[in-house]
Amino acid sequence: MTIKTMLMAAALLTATASGAFAQGAGAPQGAGGGMAACREDAQKFCADKTGPDRRTCMETNKDKLSDACKAARAARAAGQ
């Protein structure tokens, strides 16, 4: 393997890794991951909860959540 090939591979690997980290740079997972639509609902129904307890609380209150939050949760569950 030549130095030029190694440098190209390193640059490609760095660019790919940077894009992957940027995708996960939204809200913390405990707050819903990229689900900013649920932020107000989480504060309204589960303000005293964090981490897994907040997720459980949101699931318990799923019928009370806003339409935007319900849609975001459905998209996340579908892997989008």
Is residue 48 classed as helix, strand or coil in its secondary structure? coil
Residue 30's alpha-carbon distances to 1, 49, 73, in angstroms, are: 44, 10, 13
Q: Where are the domains of the chain?
A: 3-77
Provide the whole-model pTM.
Answer: 0.54
> Digits of tens for pLDDT over the chain (80 positions)?
677 665 555 555 565 444 433 333 334 444 445 579 999 999 999 999 999 999 999 999 999 999 999 999 999 989 86
Task: Find tokens 């190209």 and name the residue.
Answer: 8
